[in-house]
Structure 1
């Protein structure tokens, strides 16, 4: 008995020695990140990350809630998470025994000639027999070398990747809605400024008409004033196409009808204030950005898959057993003699596979290398997004301040020119040139402020988003 056990153990060791070995080492050094961002504000200057979003706008709150409740992209991401969790549950179940049951009824008919023509006296057999069987079976892979455990680790990492990807979809959805709402409010502000320009131009045209009829000004002055009003009307009409595009975009994002989206947009109002962006450290990207987290989880999954593939070179130990009932008469099914059973232990492993497993290991190693490079690319993409986000906020703020100052100066110049004209101290051409310079300055200032608010949404997304109250 001891000799037989020794032979079994020696056979197992031989199989392991022929095929086993550690998986190849794939270097995955941590990406080198800078200590700070070039365009980031001072540590004490910034507000909270959530304050970068238009959470004070009732339209954004309503549309965001509708999108989170019924967005197809979010539902698809949630289904991917469920799929990954099902895979992890399956991988965990592979570590446990597999228990089954079966029952059968088998009829056989035997040709007497198969036993020869001359049987000993007193010996006979039934040529037709029916057997009844019921069995309880069990099998278990002992996983002595950890192949199944490595597959479970890979499946759990896939769940983490799916969770992070779902969060990335949510952040992208909220960012798109916020940007669209800001663009809508910017359109409203631009429309208000254009209507103000139009009112001023029409007032100037009326004054020119009065002076023309009084014979103290040529008709050309009225024509030039009316052309300025026509220009404002043209700019006002051009806003319609932008409004239609934004409405269609919000219909797609929120899965609501155009009427519902328009009703939601009618709730809020434009916000003129902009908050200072918060300071952040580049290292925070590794724990805040969902795409970085997803890439890291994918890398962990590929590492576990490589380990599992390498462990295929080790032998597999299986235990199996069965216990059941077997009888040739249905009435004797529960007799003591009907009880049957079996117990087996098997070992199987590759001996000479002519490079098949080695090729699979090389493929898994290449997958891990690709996952690592994808992770590095994602990290540096995130770093570039945040650098650009901070730079855009700073540049957009400067543009908004300059545009606002320009509009104030040009509007003041137009008012002074009009006052001098009414007092007879300036000619109509001076008034018209001042009015034309002032026209669209308010619209430019409104558009610049909208870009500044939109840049904050991009920064919010680049920093990994945050929970919105």
Structure 2
């Protein structure tokens, strides 16, 4: 063996040893946090025992109009289509990464026409096949393929999370429209009631039974309610437009929705914190992204190792096209190429350190998402308990305020109280009714958001889920084509 050959092998060996001596270890696996509690910390069971029995709880998706709208939104929503197209991009990236594990073959055909010095003109045709294949000695290409696979799984989980979020947003927007419709009805009733009261007061004033102050107060109350009615009409249209945008329809502000808020009562939780870690799509996406960064670190580290590439070619040439591959000019070659990085001014080392830092960053991002998910669930549980207690109290307040309003107006007609007392009683009754509607909707929305935070599609049973998915996938693929 010559001195030059010995020197080359020595340099390659030093390169391999230096790469292997890096502090990277494939045995270092990211683990789930160990301090995840067994049960939720918020006191939910106590609230269940205190919950009063009202009408039987209805399924949120028992309304056929809502279910049809959900299917339509899942087929047409712009953001969900973006997530689907992103998923398809990751699938193509996976195909690209997987192709590196296979040989690449290229075919070539060329034609050349030349003129010699003596004036003769000749033709030359060349055709051949070139083959290139890199041996995956260090599992480097496998790591790249694994990274692409994990990135695809992360995109798949993100797409599932986007579906669940869209379902929750549609249901929430649906409740907003129902609430705005109900509050609009109350505002109209309030205007009609104050108009009747104003007529009574003005007739009494003309007959000398009431004072001018009562007239002014009644007029002020009527004008206030007219203004509130106008504001509620705008709120209703805004809620409808928000719902229409979720289905990618033009936000006209016009939508016929004939339904009431479903009844609600607290339900026990079947998901514990450890289930959340395994089942919530957004956490799964963060975990797969973390694992993808881990695979990327392995790939970048192994780029410092030598690469062994086998290349081969077979070709033929002739003066006529039909002479190609007749065996007369057939040539072939086979070459093994071993290359190793020797000096690159620290570029490969810096790339590895960057990948390591990105892995640490992904780990912290996953932990932040995890504990943020815990926080969201705990807050939703706390809100559920608080809203339940407030709703029970406001129902009692609503009943008392309505009775007080009726009594005060009767006493006013009998001359026992002033009209100011009537206005105050009516305002309290209206506010109690409004609060009851608002709290009812907040209870339902909090329930939907709690299910979303737990990684569950809100009140979507298996049959409905399959029906939606079967219609969604072909539609998105058709749009892609």
Deviation at 1:302, TM superposition (A): 0.6
- Assess if the C-alpha contact under 8 Å between 1:21 and 1:310 holds in 2: no
Deviation at 1:350, TM superposition (A): 1.7
Determine whether 1:453 maps to 2:444. Answer: yes
| CA displacement 1:29-79 (0-9 Å, x = unmatched) | 422322222336339969xxxx99842344533432222111111111111
Structure-1 separation of matches of 2:437 and 2:19? 71
Determine whether 1:303 maps to 2:294. Answer: yes
SS state at 1:338 partner: coil
Structure-1 separation of matches of 2:202 and 2:285? 69
- Assess if the C-alpha contact under 8 Å between 2:237 and 2:254 holds in 1: no
SS state at 2:314 partner: strand
- Assess if the C-alpha contact under 8 Å between 2:297 and 2:356 holds in 1: yes
Greater length-normalized contact order (CA 8 Å, ≥ 6 residues apart): 1
Deviation at 1:140, TM superposition (A): 0.9
**Equivalence for 1:262:** 254
Deviation at 1:340, TM superposition (A): 1.6
**Equivalence for 1:273:** 263
Determine whether 1:324 maps to 2:326. Answer: no
**Equivalence for 1:466:** 457
Structure-1 separation of matches of 2:115 and 2:280? 71
Q: 1:333 to 1:170 in 2, by over 3 A?
A: closer
SS state at 1:317 partner: strand
**Equivalence for 2:479:** none
- Assess if the C-alpha contact under 8 Å between 2:47 and 2:385 holds in 1: no
Which residues in structure 2 correspond to 1:138-177 (within 5 Å)? 138-177=131-170
Structure-2 separation of matches of 1:168 and 1:97? 37
* Counterpart among 72, 77, 83 of residue 83 in structure 2: 77
SS state at 2:41 partner: coil
**Equivalence for 2:196:** 203
**Equivalence for 1:37:** 40
Q: Number of residue pairs matched?
A: 446
| CA displacement 1:131-159 (0-9 Å, x = unmatched) | 32221222211111111000000000110
Q: 1:144 to 1:23 in 2, by over 3 A?
A: farther
Which residues in structure 2 correspond to 1:43-442 (within 5 Å)? 54-107=60-113, 130-259=123-252, 262-263=254-255, 266-279=256-269, 280-328=271-319, 332-422=323-413, 428=419, 430-442=421-433
Q: 1:433 to 1:77 in 2, by over 3 A?
A: closer
| CA displacement 1:203-250 (0-9 Å, x = unmatched) | 333333444444444344344334333332222222122123223322
SS state at 2:128 partner: strand
Is there any run of 5+ residues in structure 1 with no aligned partner, and where?
113-125
Structure-2 separation of matches of 1:236 and 1:382? 39
- Assess if the C-alpha contact under 8 Å between 1:316 and 1:348 holds in 2: yes
| CA displacement 1:185-217 (0-9 Å, x = unmatched) | 112222233333334333333333444444444
Q: 1:45 to 1:288 in 2, by over 3 A?
A: farther
| CA displacement 1:338-389 (0-9 Å, x = unmatched) | 2221112221112344422211111111111111111111111111111111
Structure-2 separation of matches of 1:150 and 1:353? 23
Deviation at 1:408, TM superposition (A): 0.8
- Assess if the C-alpha contact under 8 Å between 2:184 and 2:233 holds in 1: no
- Assess if the C-alpha contact under 8 Å between 2:187 and 2:228 holds in 1: yes
| CA displacement 1:151-179 (0-9 Å, x = unmatched) | 00000011011112222222222222222
- Assess if the C-alpha contact under 8 Å between 2:60 and 2:262 holds in 1: no
Structure-2 separation of matches of 1:331 and 1:447? 85
Q: 1:369 to 1:208 in 2, by over 3 A?
A: same
Structure-2 separation of matches of 1:278 and 1:60? 25
**Equivalence for 1:118:** none
Deviation at 1:89, TM superposition (A): 0.6
- Assess if the C-alpha contact under 8 Å between 2:11 and 2:342 holds in 1: no
Whose radius of gyration is greater, 1 or 2?
Answer: 1
Q: 1:142 to 1:235 in 2, by over 3 A?
A: same
Structure-2 separation of matches of 1:145 and 1:16? 11
**Equivalence for 1:119:** none
SS state at 1:262 partner: coil
Q: 1:225 to 1:149 in 2, by over 3 A?
A: same
Q: 1:23 to 1:335 in 2, by over 3 A?
A: same
Give the RMSD, CA atoms, in angstroms.
3.2
TM-score of the superposed pair, with normalisation by structure 2: 0.82
Structure-2 separation of matches of 1:404 and 1:252? 34
Structure-1 separation of matches of 2:332 and 2:29? 51
- Assess if the C-alpha contact under 8 Å between 2:245 and 2:251 holds in 1: no
Structure-2 separation of matches of 1:429 and 1:310? 81
Q: 1:258 to 1:429 in 2, by over 3 A?
A: closer
